[in-house]
Chain A
Amino acid sequence: MSKKFIVELDEALCKGQTCAICQHTCPQGVFAVSDRATAQGVWPLRVAQPEACTGCRRCELFCPELAISVTPAGEQVVEPTAPQPAGPAVATPPLHPPQLLGGKRGGGGWTTAPGTLSPGVHFLSGNEACAEGALAAGCRFYGGYPITPSSEIMVRMARRLPEVGGTFAQMEDEIASLSAVIGASWAGIKSMTATSGPGFSLMVESLGYAVMTETPCVIVNVQRAGPSTGQASRPAQGDVMQAHWGSHGGPEIIALAPWSVQEMYDLTIRAFNLAERFRVPVIVLADEVVGHLYETITVEPTVRCFNRVRWPQDSPFGTEADDGVPPMPAFGEGARLLVTGSTHDARGIRRTTDPRTQERLVRRLARKLLAHRDEIDDWEAYFTADAERLVVAYGSVARSALWAVQEARHQGQRVGLLRLKSLWPFPDDIVARYASSLTPPKVGGERGGEVVVPEMNLGQVAREVERCVTAPVTCLPQTNGELIDPRRILRYLLAGRWER
């Protein structure tokens, strides 16, 4: 008398006769197709001849739905089989040193951290200062790929990150670079990459993924002349629109534009703080001039840092809170996270055909930035109190613009300068405010109240300015791979001429 086996088949899971692997693999004919279909139209298999089972278990090991179990008679163990809750069953301590995760578990928010560079004056290039700013902000992972004119950032990080307990990786391309950065960020580590135009183009798919998954990270784009390979070692500002609109789906983005080595340090810190605060990728839109420029910078003994709010027990992709920024747990904390670039609900569960979830998610992702422009907008104004005309400039061009405005002032022109330090979300209100407060010109003329936008592209920010102001906007474009000569801007301000 051979041993008896209990064969159980969960018909609710069975996908029926189109599969029927159990029926075909069973040498004893234990299974047969059921004589009635389920509500879903599936004709499930059933255990027709249990007594024939010899316990080979082929059916059990084959079943793609894990719907079959074969147990020797008398050995069945009744165990609870109810699904476990998706949340952490047992609170597990964080595996990583808390100082790297930015404070205690569940913490986050503003903190003051000791600097990573000795306080005082340093003489650095913009790219080196950018790397030091990242370290000071708490960046402990860099994934990148060499590209002129940004490579000095990764070279500095390769040497410096191990000194502060961080990790450096030279990846196989820029796609992998930003991908690894996003992975590291979900592992709980502040992370960044740096690149230039061609590399940034490769990154934009992952950039959209970071937006959709609300992954804090920093991408530095040291802009060079394009399109395509263009002029690798020459400056440009041609990626302003790409930074915002390069990724499909039209996400809102934060982008900052440093104009000095000091700001390569300061705005990189700020980029990390904004990324952690709003759970977004933040782009530092530098250019070749500020990247390769050497200047002295002042380093403070402490750095004000924002660390992501953690709370692993809360929904990581939705919040009822006004600011629209959900808390962000890390991998390995027991949260059993579902992170996906597909449309998902508050817990990360994919809802790829539900219009309400899609709309709610897309709107929240935009709102959490647009509703906080007061925390994001950043600018400096020079000589605007009595200005009749306004120059709007950003990045290295703003250095030329400031000199030109000062010289024009010496020569009796009432010109002011608005320097944009944040480009996205575009500071509409700021630009509109300064443009509308221009003093009516004493001497009439069509150019009265003019807003002038010099930039190293064919008019990307100028178009945004036009959208925000009623005054006439003049773009002063230059795309020859050279920094705009301050004398050229001055000539325009004095004589209205932009030819070379």
Chain B
Amino acid sequence: MSATKNKGEKKSSAPQLRARYLRQPTPFCAGCGHGIFINAFLRAAEAAGLDFGRTVFVSGIGCGAWVPSPHFLADTLHVTHGRAIAFATGIKLTRPELEVVVISGDGDLVTIGGNHLIHAARRNLPIKVFCLNNWLFGMTGGQVSATTPSGAITATTPAGNPHRSFDLVRLVRGAGAPYVARWPVARPRQLRRGIETALREPGFAFVEVLSICPTQYGRANRAQWAQVGGEEVSLAWAMLSWQEANCISRRKAQKEGAADRIVVGEWREGDETWSA
């Protein structure tokens, strides 16, 4: 595995990755976690041997949906809000020889489109789904999402989110997905390896990518970042630092307990830890 890791990381330089896989620079805000995902995804795709000429990227509406379309130099389908997986279903069922990869946000894939997500998981449709979770609706101005943590300030929860959020890993596992993972953008090496693993899965694979949105979530919840030097560093780095400090691997969590931290790792059907 470590040999694969090094090989994957060193294969292409950043300019080479941009030239091979991207049409143009992204319009994302400075410090957006989605860019970190793009960086990791392109390296992972190359390591996994994903042929962009035989891959269809499907995305819905929102910032996350703009990751593949119009940026990836491949066939891209940029669809209605929440329906990316449904469109992808039609493609994969009729052209099973094509790789179909869905990349979109939490608002798109879960808040409005959750029905399609659980049904694709239930059917074990052999597509790969990457959910860029930035904890709110970024593009429309930072409104609450089904993944916004309780108490968080958003444009539509000025007194704090009164509701609980979806645990996407538990949700999609519960729906029957054979492979589910969660990786933070604060750990780009882990993220790259995780994406590569998911791309190699034979069946339905779902990866929750813990992204960051400094512009909306970061500014609305400044107090949260104070503990990690929020005044001294950029908001993006403060959020990444918070994420790094508040994520715990599955193995570690099993030993010492997760407390309030976010458990990251992968859950594969058949593993002894699947139900953990």
A495, B237: Cα distance in complex, Å:
83
Segment at the interface with B among A55-63, A110-118, A364-372, A463-471: A55-63
Interface residues of B in 227-246 (CB under 8 A from A): 233-237, 240
Q: How distant is B78 from chain A, measured CB to nearest CB, in Å?
A: 4
Q: How distant is B128 from chain A, measured CB to nearest CB, in Å?
A: 15
Partner of B19, one of A69, A82, A180: A82
Whether B155 sits at the interface, judged by CB under 8 Å, is no
- What per-residue 1/0 map shows which CB atoms of A364-405 lie under 8 Å from chain B? 000000000000000000000000000000000000000000
With A21-B236, A341-B78 already in contact, the answer to whether A349 and B70 are too (CB < 8 A) is yes
Interface pair A184/B91, CB less than 8 Å apart: yes
A65, B43: Cα distance in complex, Å:
13
B contact residues around A336 at 8 Å (CB): 52-53, 73-75
Interface pair B237/A21, CB less than 8 Å apart: yes
Interface pair B77/A71, CB less than 8 Å apart: no
Main SS of the interface on chain B? helix
A489, B88: Cα distance in complex, Å:
49
Interface pair A96/B95, CB less than 8 Å apart: yes
Interface pair A184/B94, CB less than 8 Å apart: yes
A18, B235: Cα distance in complex, Å:
7
With A19-B30, A180-B93 already in contact, the answer to whether A66 and B14 are too (CB < 8 A) is yes
With A61-B9, A83-B19, A338-B76 already in contact, the answer to whether A143 and B90 are too (CB < 8 A) is yes
State which size class the interface on A falls in. Answer: 35 or more
Whether B31 sits at the interface, judged by CB under 8 Å, is yes
Whether A200 sits at the interface, judged by CB under 8 Å, is no
A contact residues around B34 at 8 Å (CB): 64
Interface residues of B in 35-82 (CB under 8 A from A): 35-36, 38-40, 42-43, 52-54, 56, 58, 69-70, 73-80
B contact residues around A121 at 8 Å (CB): none
Residue of B nearest to A175 (CB): B83
Q: How distant is B275 from chain A, measured CB to nearest CB, in Å?
A: 26
Interface pair A179/B80, CB less than 8 Å apart: yes
B contact residues around A334 at 8 Å (CB): 53
- What per-residue 1/0 map shows which CB atoms of A319-348 lie under 8 Å from chain B? 000000000000110111111111000001
Interface pair A176/B89, CB less than 8 Å apart: yes
Interface pair B119/A176, CB less than 8 Å apart: yes
Whether A126 sits at the interface, judged by CB under 8 Å, is no
With A21-B234, A60-B14, A95-B98 already in contact, the answer to whether A187 and B91 are too (CB < 8 A) is yes
| A141, A180, A349, most chain B CB atoms within 10 A | A180
B contact residues around A173 at 8 Å (CB): 115
Partner of A331, one of B14, B43, B56: B56
Interface pair B119/A206, CB less than 8 Å apart: no
Interface pair A64/B36, CB less than 8 Å apart: yes
Interface pair A66/B38, CB less than 8 Å apart: yes
Interface pair B28/A84, CB less than 8 Å apart: no
Interface residues of A in 160-208 (CB under 8 A from B): 167, 169, 171-173, 175-177, 179-189, 191, 205-206
- The list of the 9 closest CB pairs from A to B, nearest first, reads A64-B35, A183-B90, A180-B90, A179-B86, A15-B30, A184-B90, A18-B30, A176-B86, A19-B31
Q: Can you sample 17 A-B contacts with CB below 8 Å?
A: A17-B234, A58-B188, A63-B14, A64-B36, A65-B25, A95-B98, A96-B95, A141-B93, A143-B90, A171-B119, A172-B115, A172-B116, A187-B91, A189-B94, A191-B94, A331-B91, A336-B73
